[in-house]
Structure formats: C-alpha cells, structure tokens
Structure 1
C-alpha cells in the first residue's frame, strides 16, 4: 500500500482544555535559556575517544546528522533530563489528556560537515510506518548546545500543522535504517512546501543551551547544513496522548521496532 492511500486527513479527536489554545496559529515560542533552571538543564554529552568500531559506524552514517534512538540511548536521554519542569503539564494542556513518551532521541549535527534533514512532518512517518492514528502528539526539542541561525538550527513553517500533506511511494522493508541517515521517502513535494511557506512563512528555533521548543507532530520542519565550527546538539522527546496509542501501520509492511516507536508505555508521573 502506498503512503498516500486512504490518507485524506487523519482526524484529531479530543480538544485542548483551555479555549485560548484553540486560537493558536503558530507553534509555541521557544523557552529561552534561563527559563529552564540550570540544575534541570540537559547535561552536555561527554567527549569520548572513539573506538575503532565506533569510528567505522560514524563513517557508515556519512556526514548526515547523528540521530541516536533506542533503549541504550533512551537511558542516556533520561540521565540528561528530557523532562524539564513543566514539560508534562504543557504536553497535557495541548493534547487534552494524560501523555506518555512515544520516542526520545539525541540529534547531533557536527561542525563543518553536518548535513541537515529535509523538510518533513513527523506525523506523516508516525502515521504511515508506526500506526499513530491522529496527530495528537507534540515534540519538545531541548538544546544541548547553542542553536544559532547559522549552525543548522531547526526551521519550522508555523501554521503548517493544520494541513496534513500525504506523501507518495511505497515504504520499503526496514525503511528506518536508511531514513535515520537521510529521509527520501515520506517527504512532501516542492509544490506543497512552496504553498505552505508562502502562506505561513518560515521561522527558526534559536537559543542558548537549555532552551526548549514544543511543537505539533504535524508541523513541517527541517534543518540546513552546518558548515560552521560550532556543533548543534538537541534532545527530542515526543509526548503522545494515551488516547492515541499505536495500531498497525497504515502504509508499511511491518511496524518499526519498539526502540523507534513505543508500543508499551507508562503514564508520566511528573
């Protein structure tokens, strides 16, 4: 089944509990450095001398962003503090229910040779390949290093979360192995991107280490290359509604592994 089959526009059951959220047209403003208490900010990853095996693995990834997901990395994400004070209440407020962590990852864009990610909606992939029924999820991006306009900072099209753009093409088996390096399937066409950008404009998330941005699962976003000496590292934590748990994939031969998309969960206690 192609990714665009039967995907007119997934519904969005449930309503935010505060009426003012219904008037939102733009993604949440970033929480600048200082808003998250210093003691609760994510710790910068320690530099370690790479082993021969790790070096080969880096070469295999090319010069794209190093996107670490899965059980070993989730432990590291938890130690770095992926839930700063107020993260869960904000996710609950936006989604109108209890939440759980659908996915967490560390995104590392090295200096000089860091390649960005092309424009995409996370929900398009989560819907097609994970079986997420509706875009009732939000992502929180937490800066581990300074996010400048010039070192591959996250770009977003504010307001694009109100339009679902289905993508064409068959989803290959184990597509996640390639898409974590560079996504070619599940990306929107240029005509759709142009229309959204002309209608809504483009914003960028910048800030010091500890800054955070909460954005909709269907928001169109991407990042450019980083040819500066300054690396850009972020933690991404995805909160999904407990009323929006995963089913069978809508356009993939099999679900992605649990370390990519959680099919078991516990409600967050804080």
Structure 2
C-alpha cells in the first residue's frame, strides 16, 4: 500500500503521522499560534524531527461554525508558508488542506505534494479534475454541508453504510478524473454527533472494504475533551488513547497536532502486532 509523493513512494504498510500546521487565527486548538516565520519553522522542524512524514498546512479553519475566508486570503496565508518551509526543509512533503481547486493548484505549483480536501470535491466542482491533472495523492473526507452547517446535518440511516456509499461514489468520481493515489478520511467531528464519532471509531475497520488507506483525524477533538470534561489544551492523553484504537482498527495515517506522541503510538502498535 503505497502513494507517490513527488516521485517518492511512501509505504503505508507501516502507519505514518501527518503533522498539523494551521495558519489561521481561529482554528479550535492552534489558531494564531504560528504567525512569525521563526515560529512556523520551529514548529515544522519539531514535527519533522519527531517523525512526521507529512506536514498538513491549512489556511481555512474547518472547525464547526468557522467564518468564511476568501480564496485570495487563503492563498495569501498558505503560499508564502509553503515556500518558507521548502526553502528551509526542501524534502518536506506538504499536504495542502483546502477544498478549493485554485488553492490546490497554486499550492502544488509552489511545492506541496498532496491535497487534503474536507469536502471530497463537493464544495468545488473543479477539484477532482484539477487533482487528476496535477497527478498528486488526494485525501477525500466525509462531510455533509460545510463547516457552518455540518453540525445540523447528522441524520443517517446507518452511519457506516452511509459512509461507505458516500466513498464509493466519490472514489468512482475521482477515478474518472484519473486520480491514482486516494486516501479516505471518515471525518471525525464533521456532520457527526459525539455518539456517532465513537460509533465510527468502533467500526473503523469496516472502511477497509474500500481497499484504500484510511486517515484518522482525532487529535484533540471535541469527542475527546467534551467526553472527559476538559479542553483541547488538556486532551492529549485522550487523543493518544484513541490513536491506538484507530491504529488497531486499520488507520494508516494519524493526523495529529502532537507528532511525538502519535509516533510513540505507531512504534508501540508496530511492536504489538509484530509479536
């Protein structure tokens, strides 16, 4: 199970970690933390040294009820950061977290290696064709509506069956646009109640029916801190616990704020299954 990033084959047989780098003022955990170039570079260096395979760069907050950001503003946030990172760490595999085809295209042109789309192409009709033409890996997430409306759209006939149907349709659409390397993200916290998030994690292995690698984005989310009655700042221990569950149920990429701790999970999991 491999994906091709800038000519480099990434083997997902051993799970990988995708470090989160938000350059937004309003992300739920790290919004506004990384403004100055030295702050950005220090965080990227820390994540790379801790073992991150990918750095996921986002310029548009996708937290519930997030404010809309213009395309021009999103580009102004992410393009200089891509160039900054690659100037200092040229081998970095940057994932651009966007649902806009223009941002995806400009980011790949600036040196990003893959596209991470919370809408699986549903919020921009040109996205799949753009990614197919770019020839880069594509992460497609499950969500209904958009960040402002998704938490009012949590009705399902059967949660996992509905997700499998959604992915079957989106995978077919992506293949029609010649997208070769696909990764699916079930979208924890997106158009799902807390109970549904736990149901999804409990049945995560069923997504292997797609025969595609699964990305789990659980890091410091409300399903953890609201359940434990704490805050995103104090949700690392809970995140680590659920990361191990996700790995045991087949996740191949952990998208995490805390790379060192996520990599420790991967190491322990690898030792567990090798016995």
TM-score normalised by the chain length of structure 2: 0.28
Question: What TM-score do the two structures reach when normalised by structure 1?
Answer: 0.28
